[in-house]
Structure 1
């Protein structure tokens, strides 16, 4: 079990039997922020009512702040395109990318 809520969206590398009932995108609120979680076949631009946009189609980790918006690609814990296994974490006041094998925080952005 997870200590905190865990969110998942279906991607093109996922098998339907693994993810029945899931969609390729969803929105939810956490830490007083509106978050869009999407597989991301197409790059997303900001939306006035979305604070954090998370998309992972490329399997290449990235994290940046553009104006009031945070853009995250958590990378991949199974098929990273750059050989670095990564995942993303959203916490109260910050977003981070973490290397799976070492636990090293690669980048953190405060919001």
Structure 2
């Protein structure tokens, strides 16, 4: 199963357009949205092309292929605009021999772990910093942010394909972080 991950869209229409274009060409079965979809939040500047209603319309066009979790900037009002559920604080995606625990990162994160088995993957966003690493028998994966990247990184997204998690630059697909997950 091939998955694409995007986090922290924050209502940016150009970033969402690029994400959906990338998803359409990726061959991924599911687009996993790791929270903070429509609103920029009080600590962030407005992203380029801020248009939450248009972002909702675009995401709704692929609603059947979205798995999403709630970010700290997502609300029940946002859910009213979206045709796919976003109010769960986490989702679990089961692979053959391990699971992906998908959460935004404001509740569960590498410093505040949920219950995980050895070799499980914590997928999170929130920090806007790309991560793909193994530490203490667990895997940590953050696709970065497609709209408001931080830490000097470019806007980025993630892919899981053939047991490898990669973070790619959104505009040119260059790999900036990678880890092979093994059970």
TM-score of Structure 1 vs Structure 2, range by shorter chain: 0.7 to 0.9
Structure showing greater radius of gyration is: 2
Query: In the alignment, what sits opposite 2:180?
Result: 110
Tell me the C-alpha RMSD between the 2 structures.
2.4
The 8 Å contact of residues 119 and 137 in structure 2, kept in 1 or not, is answered as no
Query: In the alignment, what sits opposite 2:164?
Result: 94
Q: Give unmatched runs, 5+ long, in structure 1.
A: none
What does 1:53-72 align with in structure 2 at a 5 Å threshold?
53-72=122-141
What does 1:1-111 align with in structure 2 at a 5 Å threshold?
3-6=28-31, 7-14=67-74, 16=78, 17-19=80-82, 21-22=85-86, 23-42=88-107, 43-44=109-110, 45=113, 47-48=116-117, 51-82=120-151, 83-111=153-181
Taking the aligned partners of 1:36 and 1:68, their CA distance within structure 2 comes to: 15
Q: Which has the higher helix share?
A: 2
Following superposition, which runs of at least 4 residues in structure 1 exceed 6 angstroms of deviation? Answer: none
The 8 Å contact of residues 68 and 85 in structure 2, kept in 1 or not, is answered as no
Aligned length: 111
The 8 Å contact of residues 133 and 178 in structure 2, kept in 1 or not, is answered as no
Q: Which has the higher strand share?
A: 1
Q: Give unmatched runs, 5+ long, in structure 2.
A: 1-23, 32-66
The 8 Å contact of residues 130 and 142 in structure 2, kept in 1 or not, is answered as yes
The 8 Å contact of residues 35 and 50 in structure 1, kept in 2 or not, is answered as no
The alignment's TM-score, normalised by the length of structure 2, stands at 0.52
Deviation at 1:57? Answer: 1.1
The 8 Å contact of residues 40 and 56 in structure 1, kept in 2 or not, is answered as yes
The 8 Å contact of residues 31 and 91 in structure 1, kept in 2 or not, is answered as no
